[in-house]
Amino acid sequence: MIGVKNVFEGIESSDREIVEKLIEKGNVRIERIASFGDRSEDGFYYDQDEYEFVLLLKGRAQLLFEDKGTIDLKAGDWLIIEPHERHRVEYTSKDALWLCVFFR
């Protein structure tokens, strides 16, 4: 029997962001991230070696790209972040839930 899981279940409220690796296989990693109003620390930017497919499943968020400005996201919005495209999380609603796929 196939083990079915639900991306919306099993999330406990927290005062800090929770990152859960759902699967990692070869050059692909899939994470579920519950943000609870969390944001990047002042002055911090992600600078990753891999592509990141970002899907906001629930809530609202705002990303700031060093060279492109801000992008507002609502539930259902998705984008691909290129390798070394420096970005940070400026805002997340208390119910923000992401599905992120990292790949090379």
pLDDT in tens, 9-18: 999 888 889 9
- Phi and psi at 57, nearest 5°, equal -80, -35
Tokens of residue 103, six digits: 């790949």
Q: Does domain 18-103 have CATH number 1.20.1250.20?
A: no
Cross-strand bridge partners of residue 19:
33
Q: Where are the domains of the chain?
A: 18-103
pLDDT value of residue 2: 79
Tell whether the model's pLDDT for residue 76 goes beyond 90. yes
For the stretch 20-74, pLDDT in tens is 999 999 999 999 999 999 999 999 999 999 999 999 999 999 999 999 999 999 9
Question: What predicted TM-score, i.e. pTM, was given to this entire model?
Answer: 0.92
pLDDT value of residue 15: 83
